[in-house]
Amino acid sequence: MPSEPPPSPDSNPPASTDPIIPAITTQNPEPVATVSVPQGEGQSAARSAHENPGACTLAIDIGGTGIKMIVLDADAKPINERARTLTPHPATAEAVLEVIRTMVQAQPAFDRVAVGFPGIVKRGVTINAPNLGNDYWRDFPLQERVAAITGKPARAMNDADLQGYGVISGKGVELALTLGTGVGAGLYVDGRLVPNLELGHQPWKKDQTYEERLSDAQLNELGKKHWSRRVLEMIEQLEPIFNYDTLYLGGGNAEHIKGELPANVRIFTNVEGMAGGVRIWTTAPT
């Protein structure tokens, strides 16, 4: 049998390994990461995930306390009830993937996967995981492994970055913060993501970081009223730094905020944020 001829110069090149973080709007976002697909399926699977206007997306949110997932239709509307399972401890990569493998079996059919991860993610590879264990997740190919588990093309990115994509308008400067086990942050300028901001680990007050003062542990220790005062103090601190048009507050503890929020601050739910899993898939990579 004759050998295959080499590809012509006009052939499509292999998918880039560089991250793609272009501007988006919530109606027509650009992609924010490269695509991993199970070995053997190649570019055709990734292209199909983009080109199918009715594609359903499995959105996975890996958190320090719980692992959530839901299947969303092409309009980012839930098809099923959000599922949640406690994060295993120790939260090794293999233990977390085993939970995901089990949870996926109970989900309705889907065409592609989006994963939010509580740490820095570059080109689908996790760099750290402060609330899961940095040593467990250093340089771990999460995107590739989730694609292998599900048999579908997958994208992985920082969890707050993904959640923000679910709620931003794509206009002006927008900041999304998630208040849960820790504090996550996603910053967007006209829909363009500034990836892996990791604001929660920056110094704030009394030699403590934002996360150390606003974590779930602090909420439980201080109570909702005192903790909420700290949230309001954080807002006063961040507004003149970022001069954002809108601040979005999400995560499991956002619902516990007491007191009046500024007019340009909006609270969003986890399911609303997980809609970002659809929006990062809307347009094929260029």
pLDDT value for 199: 96
pLDDT value for 282: 78
Please check whether residue 60 is in contact with residue 102, taking contact to mean a CB–CB distance below 8 angstroms. Answer: no
Please name the amino acid found at residue 143.
Answer: Q
Sheet holding 83-86, edge to edge: 83-86, 66-72, 57-62, 112-117, 154-158
DSSP class of residue 81 equals P
pLDDT value for 49: 61
Rg of the chain taking only CA atoms, in angstroms: 19
Closest CA to 177 of 230, 129, 128: 230
pLDDT value for 50: 59
Q: Which residues contact 100 (CB under 8 A, 6 or more apart)?
A: 60, 62, 67, 69, 146, 149
Tell me which residue has tokens 């012509």.
8
**Tens-digit pLDDT string for the chain (286 aa):** 444 455 444 444 444 333 333 444 444 333 333 344 444 454 556 555 655 778 999 999 999 999 999 999 999 999 999 999 999 999 999 999 999 999 999 999 999 999 999 999 999 999 999 999 999 999 999 999 999 999 999 999 999 999 999 999 999 999 999 999 999 999 999 999 999 999 999 999 999 999 999 999 999 999 999 999 999 999 999 999 999 999 999 999 999 999 999 999 999 999 999 999 998 997 534 2
Closest CA to 248 of 185, 203, 195: 185
Q: What is the dihedral of CA 257, 90, 93, 269, to 10 degrees?
A: -10
pLDDT value for 52: 72
pTM attached to this predicted model: 0.82
**CA distances (Å), 130 to each of 27, 40, 87, 114, 251, in order?**
33, 34, 14, 21, 17
Q: Which domains does the chain have, with CATH numbers?
A: 18-286 (3.30.420.40)
pLDDT value for 264: 98
